Amino acid sequence: MKSGRTVSLRPVKNHPVYHGYACAKGRASPQFGYLKGRLLHSMKRQADGSLAPIESSQGIREVASIVRQSVERYGPRSVAVYTGTCASMYTAPWVFADAFLEAIGSPMSFHTMQIDQPGKPIAMALHGTWLAGHANPEQADAWLVIGTNPTISMMFPPNPAHLIARVKKRGTPIFVVDPRRTEIASKADVFLQVPPGKDSVVLAGLIHIVLAENLQDHEFIAENVRGLESLRLAVRDFTPEYVAQRVGVSAAQLQAVARGYARSKRGIAFAGTGPNMSPRGSLTEYLRMSLMTLCGHWRRAGDEVSGYGVLIHPPPAFAQATDPTPATGLGVDMRVRNLTKTAAGMPTSALAEEILLEGEGRVRVLITLGGNPMAAWPDQLRTLAALKKLDLLVCLEPVISDTARYAHYVIAPTMLFETTTATTVFEAASVLIPLYRTIEPYAAFAPPVVQPPEGADVIDDWQFFFDLAREMGLSLTIKPVSYMFHPAKAQERAVKLDMARRPTTEQMWEILLADSPVPLAKVMAHPGGQVFDMPRREVMPKAPGWTGKLDIGNADMLQDLRHTFLEAHSEDNREYPFLLIGRRLKDRWNSSWREHSVITRSWPYNPAFMNPADMSVLGLSTGDIVEISSRRAALRGVIEADRTMLPGVIAMTHAWGASPEDDVNPADVGANTGLLTDNTSDCDRFSAMPRMGAIPVRIRPIKDEPASVAAEANISSV
């Protein structure tokens, strides 16, 4: 199929996992490679500021020479890589990016994880890990869903709507906490429609009820848990009446949730981006885990371990706990705000400051890999200033994105269907994010379906890092991802590449998936994927003499909980009477592929969803343009009536809009909510993530003002 192009995607009807389902973005994906603006050549910034095509190999040579100089003159820390969502899917790009950083000796590896749900690994560190995990959603007998909307965000692949219907039919109770009556909230047995940023108050209330009514799992706690008395003391004031009054639901509703959840045998509680963007995301995650621990909702010896383990060796599943480990101070210090590497990785939200702060150790070179800082990072004003200050910005990007327009070099990559991918990343995610766990041991390996468009000079993202290293005279060592949960083994099987010859794609995958439980060749023999016949895995009993315990009484966390109690008295919302939250839109995927008509068919912009009652107080109608200002800056949004919104809350999707330097109509391209946030204020004290949700804002109708007034005000406030 040398000159062929992908035209359409039809899901396979009798597919063992997807059962004929593909979402709209998936069905549109064959056209993503042919979108208007798709880069078929790499680009280089010219003296006059414009970007002009450059041969990729020449571009990489030039980048190599600048990176080498930076390392020599300013040290390895001057070079950073930021990996976003569109590199995560492909596995090889981030493995090679990390190998490249290791080769130059730079610890500056930043990821989206740190501006997504960093509270998860942080809470896991401070609480300790249960080595058997929890039930997957299919098997669980109660769901407590906090600020995630899987029907839209696809967080239970492959087909969340079906899964929810199946689980409902079985009678599994669903409890939802969200400021918006979401798709899943409309299916809930009890829906707690609470203001954003109050999840730790709600969870403390639920824990209070569980303890007051003696619903906890005494046996599990006696054997595996410490810190109960500290937790009991910390939630003492969070009575049902207090919490009900604080978050605007009834005490009876809270009791129904606590009882329904605690009485289940293997309930799961999970939180999504909603509470994690709001203040105290780490605390919310910690209390969520503590509630599960109190109820003994973890898998026990003999329970089935489902799903993963085809391409990646899963971690061993024992009915035992690991002791807590530190969540911060993990070996790499930032120069700004005394921040460090955390259990969630390097603090991405501090990278802009790190670039801007003069002095030794400043980051001067940034390579972005399948990510879009200008669209997705918090604090868009500071991000813009930082990108402009870099000596070298290189973007591995198929389009001139909001970030790539500021790049010195844009390296044009192959896209989906032109490159090779495998389900590796889903297996990895299924270990880290149990919601991602499919029941079946499914795997697929997808070789290219088509060549890149004729005349294109594009390369795979991983090849860029190989070529860059070679040009710099470095050699790369690749650790197989098949052993990502077995670090010693990964080290032992690491391969030092022969830099004289770039490995072929097949050789590269053989290294990445060395000794995979099912050999790669066998997976490759089933194009379209296969559920493999794997031995049933069971949770093994606790090892004799094992002493690890989960900690539900972490002093720092419980001190923060105390603060959430005390700050109730200082909640002053007169100046900024609304709270702005994020939400995802069905046809959208962060900032990607926005040139495709499917992505914008429902909304060509990101509306500001608002309850009609609030609209009538402000005299607004759907389609009106308003100025939305936070303490940081202002943007212009288009109002949309939405009865599912809690009054006092407005919702807008992230990663829309343009640069603050542009003078655009919000009804054409939307607005970027990152403009409203400030990297240096209201940060989570563990993850350093700033307040990206529940942002206090005020709203002012603007009828005939020129857009540039707002834009200028924003730029001058950096």
Ligand X SMILES: Nc1nc2c(c(=O)[nH]1)N[C@H]1C(S)=C(S)[C@@H](COP(=O)(O)OP(=O)(O)OC[C@H]3O[C@@H](n4cnc5c(=O)[nH]c(N)nc54)[C@H](O)[C@@H]3O)O[C@H]1N2
Q: Is 273 in the site for ligand X (CB under 6 A)?
A: yes
430 versus 554: smaller Cβ distance to Mo ion: 430
**Residue 320: CB partners within 8 Å, gap ≥ 6?**
130, 131, 132, 224, 542, 543, 546, 548
Binds 683, which of Mo ion, ligand X, none (CB < 5 to 8 A, cut-off by type)? none
Residue 112 carries which DSSP code? Answer: G
* 8 A C-beta contact, residue 279 and residue 687: no
- Residue 159 interacting with ligand X (CB under 6 A): no
Residue 38 near which of Mo ion, ligand X, none (CB within 5-8 Å, type-dependent) = none
Contact stretch for Mo ion (CB under 5 A) within 51-59, 108-116, 307-315, 607-615? 108-116
From 99, 131, 269, 376, residue interacting with ligand X (rule: CB under 6 A): 376
Chain positions 86 to 125 lying near ligand X, rule: CB under 6 A, are 86-87, 112, 115-116
For the record, the structure tokens of 679 come out as 């990297």
- The secondary structure of 501-557 as a DSSP string is SPPPHHHHHHHHTTT-SS-HHHHHTSTT-EE-----EEPBPPPTT----EES--HHH
In the shown chain, the binding pattern of residues 590 to 609 toward ligand X, with x for contact by CB under 6 A and - for none, equals: xxx-----------------
Number of H helices, E strands in the chain: 27, 27
Cβ atoms of 352 and 379 closer than 8 Å? yes
Considering the complex, state which of residue 291 and residue 692 has its C-beta at the smaller distance from ligand X. Answer: 692
Token pair 């070179």 in the structure block, residue: 365
Q: Under DSSP, is residue 237 helix (H, G, I), strand (E, B) or coil?
A: coil
In whole angstroms, give the CA distance from residue 664 to residue 588: 20
CA torsion angle 487 490 491 493 (round to 10): 160
Beta strands in 22-66 (DSSP E): 42-45, 51-54
Interacting partner of 314 out of ligand X, Mo ion, none (Cβ under 5 to 8 A depending on kind): none
Select from 99-107, 176-184, 252-260, 422-430 the region that touches ligand X (CB under 6 A): 176-184
Query: Which option in ligand X, Mo ion, none does residue 351 bind, with CB closer than 5 to 8 A by kind?
Result: none
**Which of Mo ion, ligand X, none lies near 67, with the C-beta cut-off 5 to 8 A by kind?**
none
Residue number with CB closer to ligand X (292 or 692): 692
Q: What is the dihedral of CA 413, 419, 424, 429, to 10 degrees?
A: 40
Number of residues that bind Mo ion (CB under 5 A): 1
Rg for the chain (alpha carbons), in Å? 25
User: Residue 437 Cβ, how far from Mo ion at the closest point, in Å?
Assistant: 18
What span, in angstroms and rounded, lies between the C-alpha atoms of 274 and 260? 23
Which residue's CB is nearer to ligand X, number 147 or number 607? 147
Please state, in angstroms and rounded to a whole number, the distance separating the CA atoms of residues 194 and 246.
9
CA 200 – CA 255 distance, rounded (Å): 16
CB contact at 8 A, 54 and 43: yes
> What is the distance between the terminal CA atoms of the chain, rounded to a whole angstrom?
51
Q: Give the integer Cα–Cα distance in Å for 703 and 390.
A: 38
Question: Of these partners, ligand X, Mo ion, none, which one is at the site of residue 413 (CB under 5 to 8 Å by kind)?
Answer: ligand X
Partner in contact with 119, chosen from ligand X, Mo ion, none, beta carbon below 5 to 8 Å by kind: none
**Nearest distance from C-beta of residue 463 to ligand X, angstroms:** 12
Q: Is 697 in the site for ligand X (CB under 6 A)?
A: no
Q: Which does residue 199 touch among Mo ion, ligand X, none (CB within 5 to 8 A, set by kind)?
A: ligand X
Contact 268, 292 (CB under 8 A): yes
- Give me the 563-582 binding string for ligand X, x by CB under 6 A, dash otherwise: ------------------xx
Closest-by-Cβ residue to ligand X is 274
Residue selected from 327, 694, 697, 699 as contacting ligand X according to rule CB under 6 A: 694
> How far, in Å, CA of 38 to CA of 123, rounded?
40
Tell me whether residue 116 or residue 678 sits nearer to Mo ion (CB atom). 116
At how many degrees (to 10) do helices 505-512 and 92-104 cross? Answer: 80
394 closest CA partner among 79, 48, 184: 79
Q: Tokens standing for 184?
A: 């899943």
Q: State phi, psi for 454 to the nearest 5 degrees.
A: -55, 135
Q: Using CB under 6 A, pick the residue from 139, 153, 451, 680 that binds ligand X.
A: 153
Cβ atoms of 542 and 301 within 8 Å: the answer is yes
Cα atoms in the Cβ-side hemisphere of radius 13 Å centred on 529 = 21
Sole binder of ligand X in the list 121, 227, 267, 274 (CB under 6 A): 274
Q: How far is the CB of 468 from ligand X (least distance, A)?
A: 14
Give dist(CA 652, CA 250) in Å, integer: 28
Asked if 190 interacts with ligand X (CB under 6 A), we say no
Return the range that interacts with ligand X (CB under 6 A); candidates 130-138, 543-551, 691-699, 708-716.
691-699
Which residues does residue 269 pair with via DSSP β-bridges, in sequence order? 144
Among 133, 240, 275, 696, binds ligand X (CB under 6 A): 275
Q: Which does 274 bind (CB under 5 to 8 A by kind): Mo ion, ligand X, none?
A: ligand X
Give, for 396, the enclosing helix (H) or strand (E).
Answer: strand 392-396
179 touches ligand X by CB under 6 A = yes
The entry of ligand X, Mo ion, none near residue 694 (CB within 5 to 8 angstroms by kind) is ligand X
> To the nearest whole angstrom, how small is the minimum distance from the Cβ of residue 269 to ligand X?
12
Our finding on whether 30 is near ligand X (CB under 6 A) is: no
User: Which CA distances in Å does 718 have to 380, 660, 711?
Assistant: 10, 11, 12
582 binds, among Mo ion, ligand X, none (CB under 5 to 8 A by kind): ligand X
CA distances (Å), 454 to each of 4, 5, 9, 40, 593, in order? 9, 10, 21, 9, 21
CB of residue 579 to Mo ion, shortest distance in Å: 21
Q: Is 370 in the site for Mo ion (CB under 5 A)?
A: no
Residue from 78, 92, 116, 445 binding Mo ion (CB under 5 A): 116
Task: Record the tokens describing residue 81, joined without a space.
Answer: 């890589």
Query: Per-residue contact track with Mo ion, 629 to 668, x per CB under 5 A?
Result: ----------------------------------------
Nearer to ligand X, 87 or 305 (CB): 87
The answer to whether 267 contacts ligand X (rule: CB under 6 A) is: no
CB of 577 to Mo ion, least distance (A): 29
**Is 583 a residue that touches ligand X (CB under 6 A)?**
yes
Q: Which of 100, 466, 589, 605 binds ligand X (CB under 6 A)?
A: 589
Residue (116 or 379) nearer to Mo ion, CB: 116
**Is residue 397 part of the contact set for Mo ion (CB under 5 A)?**
no
The partner in contact with residue 153, picked from Mo ion, ligand X, none with C-beta cut-offs of 5 to 8 angstroms by kind, is: ligand X
What single DSSP character describes residue 333? B
The residue among 313 and 583 lying less far from Mo ion, judged by its C-beta, is: 583
468 binds ligand X (CB under 6 A): no
User: What does the block give as tokens for 113?
Assistant: 């994880």
Q: Which stretch binds ligand X (CB under 6 A): 149-157, 298-306, 481-489, 563-571?
A: 149-157
Q: Is 684 left (phi over 0), alpha (psi -120 to 50) or beta?
A: beta
Task: Write out the residues near Mo ion by the rule CB under 5 A.
Answer: 116
Task: Write out the residues near ligand X by the rule CB under 6 A.
Answer: 84-87, 112, 115-116, 146-150, 152-155, 177-180, 182, 196-197, 199, 272-275, 277-278, 370-372, 375-376, 396-399, 401, 413, 415-416, 461, 581-584, 586, 588-592, 651, 654-655, 673-674, 692-694
